[in-house]
Amino acid sequence: MATTKKTATKKVAKKAAPSLKFNTAWEYAPALEGTSHVTIAPQYELFIDGKFVKPESGKYFNTINPATEANLSSIAEANAADVDKAVKAARKAYNGAWGKMSGAERAKYIFRISRMIQEKARELCVIETLDGGKPIRESRDIDIPLAANHFFYYAGWADKLDYAFPNRKPTSLGVAGQIIPWNFPLLMAAWKIAPALATGNTVVLKPAETTPLTALKLAEIIQECDLPPGVVNILTGAGATGAALVQHNDINKIAFTGSTEVGKLIQQACAGSSKKLTLELGGKAANIIFEDAPLDQAVEGIINGIFFNQGHVCCAGSRLFVQESVYKTVLRKLKDRMATLIVGNPLDKNTDIGAINSKQQLDTIHKYITIGKKEGAEMYQTDINLPRKGFYCKPTLFTDVAQSSRIAQEEIFGPVLTVQTFRTEDEVIEKANNTPYGLSAGVWTDKGSKIFNLTTKIRAGVVWANTYNKFDPTSPFGGYKESGYGREGGLQGLAGYLHI
Ligand code: ADP
Nearest atom in ligand 1 to 246's CA: 25
The full set of domain ranges for the chain reads 43-281+483-499, 286-472
The tens digit of pLDDT for each residue in 425-451 reads: 999 999 999 999 999 999 999 999 999
What is the rounded distance in angstroms from the CA atom of residue 189 to the CA atom of residue 176? 13
In the annotation, is 280 catalytic?
A: yes
Beta strands 437-438 and 253-257: pairing type?
unpaired
The tens digit of pLDDT for each residue in 182-211 reads: 999 999 999 999 999 999 999 999 999 999
227 DSSP β-pair partners = none
CA distances 482 to 73, 239, 314, 318, 435, Å, are 35, 20, 12, 16, 9
Residue 26's pLDDT is what? 67
Distance 233 CA to ligand 1 centre (A): 18
Closest C-alpha residue for ligand 1 atom 2: 259
Mean pLDDT of 351-361: 96
Distance 483 CA to ligand 1 centre (A): 15
Indicate the range of 11-25, 59-73, 328-342 predicted with least confidence: 11-25
CATH superfamily of 286-472: Aldehyde Dehydrogenase; Chain A, domain 2 (3.40.309.10)
The tens digit of pLDDT for each residue in 296-323 reads: 999 999 999 999 888 988 888 999 999 9
Closest C-alpha residue for ligand 1 atom 17: 239
Please check the confidence at residue 12 and state whether its pLDDT lies above 80: no
Nearest atom in ligand 1 to 269's CA: 24
Cβ atoms within 10 Å, residue 249: 9
% residues pLDDT > 90 (the chain):
89
Closest C-alpha residue for ligand 1 atom 7: 259
The tens digit of pLDDT for each residue in 155-184 reads: 999 999 999 999 999 999 999 999 999 999
Q: How far is CA 491 from its chain centroid?
A: 20
Q: Is the dihedral of CA 426, 431, 435, 438 positive or negative?
A: negative
The confidence band for 18, taking pLDDT boundaries of 50, 70 and 90, is very low
The tens digit of pLDDT for each residue in 61-113 reads: 999 999 999 999 999 999 999 999 999 999 999 999 999 999 999 999 999 99
Q: Is 184 exposed, middle or buried (0-12, 13-18, 19+ CB in 10 A)?
A: buried
Distance 247 CA to ligand 1 centre (A): 14
Among 33, 45, 77, 280, the active-site one is 280
Cβ atoms within 10 Å, residue 2: 11
The confidence band for 19, taking pLDDT boundaries of 50, 70 and 90, is very low
Distance 486 CA to ligand 1 centre (A): 18
176 DSSP β-pair partners = 203, 253
Nearest atom in ligand 1 to 206's CA: 14
Nearest atom in ligand 1 to 238's CA: 16
Among 314, 393, 482, 488, the active-site one is 314
Q: Nearest to residue 92, comparing CAs of 171, 170, 173, 174?
A: 174
Q: Nearest to residue 353, comparing CAs of 388, 407, 312?
A: 312
Q: Do domains 43-281+483-499 and 286-472 have the same CATH topology?
A: no
Residue 27's pLDDT is what? 79
Distance 278 CA to ligand 1 centre (A): 14
Beta strand extents in 171-252 (DSSP E only): 171-172, 175-179, 202-206, 232-234
Mean pLDDT of 272-276: 93
What is the domain class of 43-281+483-499 according to CATH? alpha beta
Please check the confidence at residue 372 and state whether its pLDDT lies above 50: yes
Contact at 8 Å (CB) between 117 and 151?
A: yes
Which residues approach ligand 1 with their CB closer than 6 A?
Answer: 179-182, 206, 208-209, 238-239, 242-243, 246, 258-259, 262, 265-266
Residue 284's pLDDT is what? 93
